[in-house]
Structure 1
Amino acid sequence: MYQEPWVVAGQGFSNRISGRLLVHCFIMMFMGFFGGFAWLIALADNVFHILPLPRFEIAVPDQKELLRNAHTGPIMNAMYVMLMVALSPRLHFSVTQAKWVYYGAIVMLWGNLVGYVAAVYAPERGLQPVGDWPNLLSYGAFYAAVVGATIATGIILNNAVRAARNKTT
């Protein structure tokens, strides 16, 4: 059975890997839109009213800053991973590096999504490993996301520096 490679010389991530990462990115974008609707409702004092729809009273947590984060965070992380995919042809990943970047990016995306959402319900905002389960969930998810982001960004930085030093004449 043929299995598409992780990387293609001169093209970066293979089509399969690029496509899978982009699926995660667009799911994050979509989830960020939900965070945006919750933020919009909080800003409008728990009212959702977009014409021609009727007015709805929807109770959302009174954590406007954290709801904003649940909107912008997943979208910004998705854009970062999209940039990784777009720049992969210039970064010349080895197969091992491509796997680490791929899984690191996925852990970063989902960890941040879970962290941002759980932080809305956590009095400590997931900043310290204390308190109730939403805070511990948020903290753990953010911790995993930082590890994933650090791994992926470290490999990308290494390869970018290596590409910058390569003198092609």
Structure 2
Amino acid sequence: MRNQLWVTTAGGFTDQINGKLLVHCFVMMFLGFFGGFAWLISLADNVFHILPLPRMEIPVPDQKELLRNTHTGPLMNAMYVMIVVLLGPILKFTARQAKWVYYGAIVTLWGNAVGYSAAVYAPERGLQPIGDWPNLLSYASFYVAVVGVTTLTAICLFSAVRLARVRSLG
């Protein structure tokens, strides 16, 4: 009975789990859009001007590369998780694998979103566990995101290898 909460008889996620993962993915897409606006404003020297709206001066940090990451990072992570959702029926997860993939995906999505956002304000960019709180937050968020993405990717790889080794009956 527990297995039916996570996977279908075909091995993919249940509709409810698919829906929950996709909600996180689409929220990440919107967060990536906001990061894109911040990047755009930075590239335009702190000016936001889209006709017919009036010209607005909005101060954003002068960290163009890091602002670009707040745009592309959440989008790319969301697309990766969407692909895993689509491949679920092919990879035929067990209920246990599905749980690990599900939680790994959520940790990956949110860990990276927080990490990319905090890195904009961290002189060390979250690359080392030193410095002020934005850097430590960024580092810790990236750390858990790496654990999440490694876990879900390893499970997907294991499932793909298992499928590749299946011998045909003919």
Once the two structures are superposed, the pairs formed by residues 99-138 of structure 1 within 5 Å of their partners are 99-138=99-138
Which residue does 2:73 correspond to in 1? 73
Which whole-Å CA distance do the structure 2 matches of 1:60 and 1:4 have between them? Answer: 47
Structure 2 gaps, min length 5: none
Report what 1:15 is aligned to: 15
In the aligned structure 1, how far is the partner of 2:78 from the partner of 2:15? 18
CA distance in structure 2 between the partners assigned to 1:121 and 1:14 by the alignment: 39
Q: Which amino acid letter does the alignment assign opposite residue 27 of structure 1?
A: V
Measured in 1, the distance between the counterparts of 2:18 and 2:11 equals 11
2:34 equivalent in structure 1: 34
Query: SS at 2:59's partner residue?
Result: coil
Counterpart for residue 145 of structure 1: 145
CA contact (8 A) 2:39 2:68 kept: yes
C-alpha separation in 1, matches of 2:73 and 2:54: 30
Structure 1: which 5+ runs fail to align?
none
TM-score for the superposition, normalised by structure 1? 0.97
Aligned-residue offset at 1:71: 0.1
State the superposition RMSD in angstroms: 1.4
Query: When the two structures are aligned, how many residues end up with a matched partner?
Result: 168
SS at structure 1 position matched to 2:129: coil
Equivalent residues of 1:4, 1:16 under 8 A apart: no
What's the TM-score, normalizing by structure 2? Answer: 0.96
User: Aligned partner of 2:97: which letter?
Assistant: Q
Distance 1:97 1:53 in 2: 49
Instruction: Tell me the distance in 2 between the aligned counterparts of 1:91 and 1:71.
Output: 30
- Summarize deviations over 1:27-70 as a string: whole Å, max 9, x none: 00000000000000000000000001000000000000000000
User: Does 1:156 find its partner at 2:156?
Assistant: yes
Distance 1:58 1:12 in 2: 45
- Runs ≥4 in structure 1, deviation > 3 angstroms? none
Name the CA distance, whole Å, in 2 between partners of 1:11 and 1:78. 22
